C-alpha cells in the first residue's frame, strides 16, 4: 500500500527548478543537459504517477465492491454480483489464472531456452538467423489470431492427446478426462505457451549471445564438449536473464485475455482434472462479463483486476529476489 | 607426463586468409618456450593450434602436423575435445568461471573427465592450488566465488584449474599482460616451478619476461599487414637475446624495427 504515498507526487514538478538552480551555482549546466535531465526526470515521475493512479483507481473501486459482497471474496466459487444479496469470489479465477500460467511456463520455458541455445550455439549462422526471424514473426501475431487458431485448429486436434493422457496418467486425477470438448485450462496453457514462446526466446537469445567469449573458451580449453560448455559457462551466465525472460512471459500469460476467452469453455467452477472443460481466468472473466455488468458488477470485476495486479507484483518481486540472492555469483562482477 | 611437441609445415587460416605460414619447430619436454614478436604476427594463433582451439573461431582452419610425442593432434579420428584435456591453456585475461566457487573452479576440469570421490577431489584441489602458489591465500575461502579474488589470484586460480587435470603441455597466452608487476612476478616464479612437471609454451609481449622465464625463445614476424606471420628463428633464449642469427630478430629485440 505504500504506493499510495506517491499520490503526493503531483506537487513535485514545482521543485526541480529550485533544485536545479542550486546545482547551476556549482557547475555550468548546458541547455542540452538541462533538457535531457528534465525529460528523463519527467518520464520517471510520469511513470510513478500513472502507477499510483492505477493503484488508487483499482483499490477504491475494489473496496466499494468488496464492502457490498455478502460472500467471502477470496474463497467463494461463485460470481453473482447482480443477485440479492450479491455474492462473488475470485477463487475460481485465481485457480484458473495460476494453473494455466504454470502449464504455459512449464512448456514454454524449456522450449524457449532450447530454441535460444540452438540459434546462438548450434545452428549455422544463416539458419539461426532464419529461425530468429520466424520467432520474431510469431511475436507479432495479435492475440485474437492466436485465439482463432486455438479454437478452430488446436482444440479439434487435441482429442487424441487428451485420450492418451487420460489412458496413461488418468490415475493421477489431475489428468483424467471425461470426454467433453477439450476447451480446458490445459488447452489454454498450451496456447499461452505458444504465445509467450517468442518473448522468452528472444530475451534468452540476447543473453546467451552476451556470454563473454573468454568464459566459453575457459570451458573449451578444459576439454568441454559443446553441451558441457553450455552447462558450465552459458547457462550459469544466462541464469538471471532466463528468469527475467520467463517473468516477462509469465506477465503476458497471466494477463492474456482474448485468446483465453475464445478457447476456454467458461464454467464458474474448479475442476479437479486439468483436462475437463471449465474454469476461468481474471482477464478472461473481465472481458466476457464487463459489457453486461451493472455498476456493482463492474466494481466486482475491477476488484478481481486488483488481485491480478497484486499477483503480478508478487511474481515480479519473487523473481527479483531469486536473481539478487545469487548476485555475487552472477558473473556481473567478472 | 610432459611430452615433446613437434610441429611441421603448419599453416593456419581465418577463412581464406592465411594467418601463419609453414611453421616447424620442436618444443622439448620440461622446458619453457617463449613466443615473441609484434602484434598480429600470429604467435597467439599458433599457440591456439597446439590445443586445437584455433578451429573454434569461425572460419578457423589448420593444415600440417602437430605431433605430441607419437600422436598427431590433427590426425584422422582425433577428437579435439580429448586433445584439449591433454593440452591445458591459460588465457590473457583471467577467466575463472564467475558462477563457481574457488573450489569448483579448480575441480571443473576433473568433473568433466570422470567420476572422483569427494576426498579425491579435495586432495587434487589442494594439490593444484598449492602447485599454483595460491593455497595459503584461498584455503579459508574455497567456497567463495572465484571472481571475488584479485586479478593475480584469479590468474593463478586459472593455472590451478589447468594443472588440476594433469595435462602434458601447458599453453599460456600472455598470462601476465593484465596483471601488476608483483602478480607478474608471482606467476613467473610459478612458471619456473611448473616446468619441472610440464612442457610450457608462453606467448609474451614482454621481452624481459621471455628472457627471465624461458629456456628457448621463438621470434615470429610478418612481412607486412595482410601477409602471413612466419617463424623467423627459434633458439636458446640466451642466444636469441645476445647473438641472434637473423638480423630481424636483433632489430626487434633492440627496438630497431619498422
Mutate: best of B55, B85, B103, B145, partner A, most A CBs <10 A: B145
Report which of residues B225 and A156 the model is more confident about. Answer: A156
List CB contacts of B55: < 8 A, sequence separation 6 or more: B61, B62, B80
* Neighbour-count burial for B182-220, b at 16+ CB within 10 Å, e otherwise: ebbebbbebbeebbebbbbbbbbebbebbbbbbbbbbbb
Amino acid B1: pLDDT: 65
Dihedral pair phi/psi, residue A134, rounded to 5°: -65, -40
C-alpha A220/C-alpha A207 separation (Å) is 20
Q: Which residue of A has its CA nearest to B165?
A: A222
CB contacts of A219 in chain B (<8 Å) are 97, 108
Residue A262 belongs to a domain:
yes
In this predicted structure, what is the pLDDT of residue B158? 94
Cell numbers representing residue A5 in the block: 504515498
Residue A321 clears pLDDT 90, i.e. is over it: no
**Model pLDDT for residues A78-119, shown as the tens digit of each residue:** 888 888 788 888 999 999 999 999 999 999 999 999 999 999
Q: Does A327 touch chain B (CB under 8 A)?
A: no
Q: Cβ–Cβ of B97/A218 closer than 8 Å?
A: yes
Distance from CA of A214 to the nearest CA of B (A): 6
Task: Let me know: does A167 contact A282? Beta carbons within 8 Å.
Answer: no
In a domain, A168, yes or no: yes
Q: What is the mean pLDDT of residues A310-319?
A: 89
Give the residue numbers spanning the domain of A134: 93-293+322-329
Cβ separation of B96 and A218 shorter than 8 Å?
Answer: yes
Q: Give residue A324's pLDDT.
A: 80
Q: What is the mean pLDDT of chain B?
A: 91
Q: What is the pLDDT of residue A142?
A: 93
- Dump pLDDT digits (tens) for B218-247: 999 988 888 899 999 999 999 999 989 999
Residue A83 C-alpha cell reads as: 443477485
Prediction pTM value: 0.82
Residue B112: its chain A contacts at CB < 8 A? Answer: 222-224, 228
Residues on chain A touching B44 (C-beta within 8 angstroms): none
Residue in the block written with cell 633458439? B235
Q: Is there a domain that residue A79 lies in?
A: no
8 Å CB contact between B222 and B230: yes
**CA–CA separation, B196 vs B131, rounded Å?**
11
The C-alpha of B12 sits at a distance from chain A's nearest C-alpha, in angstroms, of 18
Q: Count the domains in chain A.
A: 1
- Of A75, A97, A78, A76, the closest CA to residue A268 belongs to A78
Tell me which of B212 and A181 has the higher pLDDT.
B212
Whether A304 is in a domain gets the answer: no
Contact present, A191 and A150 (Cβ < 8 Å): yes
Q: Which residues contact B205 (CB under 8 A, 6 or more apart)?
A: B36, B39, B174, B177
> Which of B56, B82, B97 has the CB atom closest to A233's CB atom?
B97
Mean predicted lDDT score pLDDT of chain A: 86
pLDDT digits (tens, 9 = 90+) for A212-246: 988 999 999 999 999 999 999 999 889 888 998 99
CATH code assigned at A218: 1.10.3720.10
Beta carbons of B165 and B85 less than 8 angstroms apart: yes
With residue B90 as reference, give the H or E element that holds it.
strand B87-90
**A175 part of a folded domain:** yes
pLDDT-above-70 percentage for chain A: 89
A25 lies in a domain? Answer: no
How many CA atoms are closer than 13 Å to the CA of A310, on its beta-carbon side? 13
Which range has the worst mean pLDDT, A9-13, A38-42, A306-310, B198-202?
Answer: A9-13
Pairing of strands B60-68, B5-14: antiparallel
Q: Nearest 5°: phi and psi at B7?
A: -100, 135
Assign A8 a pLDDT band (cuts: 50, 70, 90): very low
Predicted confidence (pLDDT) at residue B170 exceeds the cutoff of 60: yes
- What per-residue confidence (pLDDT) applies to A332? 47
pLDDT at A4 over 50: no
A29-58 residues touching B, CB cutoff 8 A: none
Average pLDDT estimate for B138-149: 91
**pLDDT tens-digit map of A178-205:** 888 889 999 999 999 999 999 999 999 9
Helix (H) or strand (E) holding B23: strand B17-27
Q: Is residue A27 part of a domain?
A: no
A272 pLDDT more than 70:
yes
Q: Answer whether A223 sits within 8 Å of B85, measured CB to CB.
A: yes
For B239-248, the pLDDT digits (tens) are 999 989 999 9
The 10s digit of each residue's pLDDT in B86-132 is 999 999 999 999 889 999 999 999 888 778 889 999 999 999 999 88
Tell me the C-alpha distance between A275 and A173, whole Å. Answer: 10
The pLDDT value recorded for residue A273 is: 87
Distance CA B94, CA B156 (A): 8
Is residue A52 a part of any domain in this protein?
A: no
- What are A35-82's pLDDT values in tens digits? 999 999 999 999 999 999 999 999 999 999 999 888 888 888 888 888
Instruction: Judge whether B213 and B174 are in contact, CB under 8 Å.
Output: no
Give the C-alpha separation, A64 to A299, whole Å.
7
Of A310-324, B50-64, B153-167, B184-198, minimum mean pLDDT range: A310-324
Taking only the tens place, the pLDDT of each residue in A288-302 is 899 988 889 999 999
C-beta atoms surrounding A131 within 10 Å: 17
Predicted confidence band of residue A23 (pLDDT cuts 50, 70, 90): low
Amino acid at each position: 500500500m505504500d504506493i499510495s504515498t506517491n499520490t503526493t507526487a503531483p506537487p513535485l514538478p514545482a521543485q526541480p527548478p529550485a533544485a536545479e538552480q542550486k546545482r547551476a551555482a556549482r557547475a555550468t549546466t548546458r541547455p542540452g543537459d538541462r533538457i535531457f535531465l528534465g525529460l528523463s526526470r519527467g518520464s520517471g515521475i510520469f511513470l510513478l504517477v500513472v502507477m499510483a493512479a492505477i493503484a488508487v483507481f483499482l483499490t477504491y473501486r475494489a473496496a466499494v465492491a468488496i464492502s457490498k459482497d455478502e460472500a467471502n471474496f477470496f474463497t467463494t466459487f461463485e460470481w453473482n454480483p447482480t443477485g440479492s444479496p450479491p455474492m462473488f469470489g475470485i477463487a475460481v479465477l485465481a485457480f484458473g489464472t495460476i494453473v494455466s500460467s504454470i502449464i504455459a511456463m512449464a512448456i514454454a520455458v524449456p522450449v524457449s531456452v532450447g530454441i535460444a541455445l540452438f540459434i546462438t550455439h548450434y545452428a549455422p549462422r544463416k539458419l539461426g538467423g532464419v529461425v530468429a526471424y520466424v520467432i520474431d514473426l510469431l511475436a507479432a501475431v495479435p492475440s485474437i489470431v492466436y485465439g482463432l487458431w486455438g479454437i478452430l485448429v488446436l482444440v479439434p486436434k487435441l482429442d487424441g492427446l487428451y485420450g492418451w493422457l487420460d489412458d496413461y496418467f488418468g490415475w493421477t486425477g489431475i489428468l483424467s478426462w471425461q470426454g467433453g470438448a477439450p476447451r480446458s485450462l490445459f488447452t489454454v496453457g498450451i496456447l499461452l505457451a505458444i504465445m509467450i514462446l517468442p518473448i522468452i526466446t528472444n530475451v534468452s537469445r540476447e543473453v546467451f549471445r552476451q556470454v563473454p567469449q573468454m568464459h566459453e573458451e575457459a570451458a573449451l580449453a578444459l576439454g568441454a564438449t559443446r553441451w558441457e560448455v553450455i552447462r558450465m559457462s552459458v547457462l550459469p551466465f544466462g541464469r538471471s536473464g532466463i528468469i527475467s525472460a520467463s517473468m516477462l512471459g509469465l506477465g503476458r500469460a497471466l494477463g492474456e485475455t482474448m485468446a483465453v476467452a475464445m478457447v476456454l469453455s467458461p464454467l464458474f467452477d474448479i475442476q479437479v482434472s486439468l483436462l475437463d472443460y471449465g474454469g476461468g481466468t481474471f482477464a478472461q472473466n473481465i472481458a466476457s462479463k464487463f459489457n453486461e455488468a451493472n455498476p456493482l458488477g463492474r466494481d466486482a470485476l475491477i476488484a478481481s483486476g486488483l488481485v491480478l495486479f497484486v499477483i503480478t507484483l508478487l511474481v515480479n518481486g519473487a523473481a527479483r529476489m531469486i536473481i539478487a540472492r545469487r548476485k555475487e555469483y552472477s558473473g556481473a562482477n567478472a | 607426463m610432459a611430452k615433446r611437441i613437434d610441429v611441421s609445415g603448419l599453416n593456419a587460416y581465418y577463412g581464406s586468409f592465411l594467418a601463419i605460414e609453414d611453421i616447424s619447430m620442436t618444443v622439448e619436454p620440461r622446458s619453457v618456450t617463449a613466443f615473441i614478436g609484434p602484434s598480429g604476427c600470429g604467435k597467439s594463433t599458433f599457440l591456439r593450434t597446439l590445443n586445437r582451439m584455433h578451429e573454434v573461431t569461425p572460419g578457423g582452419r589448420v593444415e600440417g602436423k602437430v605431433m605430441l610425442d607419437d600422436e598427431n593432434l590433427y590426425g584422422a579420428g582425433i577428437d579435439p575435445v580429448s586433445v584439449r584435456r591433454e593440452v591445458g591453456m591459460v588465457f590473457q585475461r583471467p577467466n575463472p568461471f564467475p558462477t563457481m566457487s574457488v573450489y569448483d573452479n579448480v575441480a571443473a576440469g576433473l568433473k568433466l573427465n570422470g567420476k572422483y570421490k569427494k576426498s579425491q577431489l579435495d586432495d587434487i584441489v589442494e594439490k593444484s592450488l598449492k602447485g599454483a602458489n595460491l593455497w595459503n591465500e584461498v584455503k579459508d575461502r574455497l567456497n567463495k566465488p572465484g571472481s571475488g579474488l584479485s586479478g593475480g589470484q584469479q590468474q593463478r586460480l586459472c593455472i590451478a584449474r589447468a594443472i588440476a587435470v594433469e595435462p602434458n603441455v601447458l599453453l599460456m597466452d600472455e598470462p601476465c599482460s593484465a596483471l601488476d608487476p608483483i602478480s607478474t612476478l608471482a606467476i613467473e616464479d610459478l612458471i619456473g616451478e611448473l616446468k619441472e612437471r610440464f612442457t610450457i609454451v608462453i606467448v609474451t609481449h614482454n621481452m624481459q619476461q621471455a628472457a627471465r622465464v624461458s629456456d628457448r625463445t621463438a621470434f615470429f614476424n610478418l612481412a607486412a599487414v595482410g601477409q602471413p606471420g612466419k617463424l623467423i628463428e627459434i633458439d636458446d633464449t640466451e642466444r636469441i637475446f645476445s647473438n641472434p642469427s637473423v638480423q630481424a630478430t636483433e632489430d626487434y629485440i633492440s627496438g630497431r624495427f619498422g
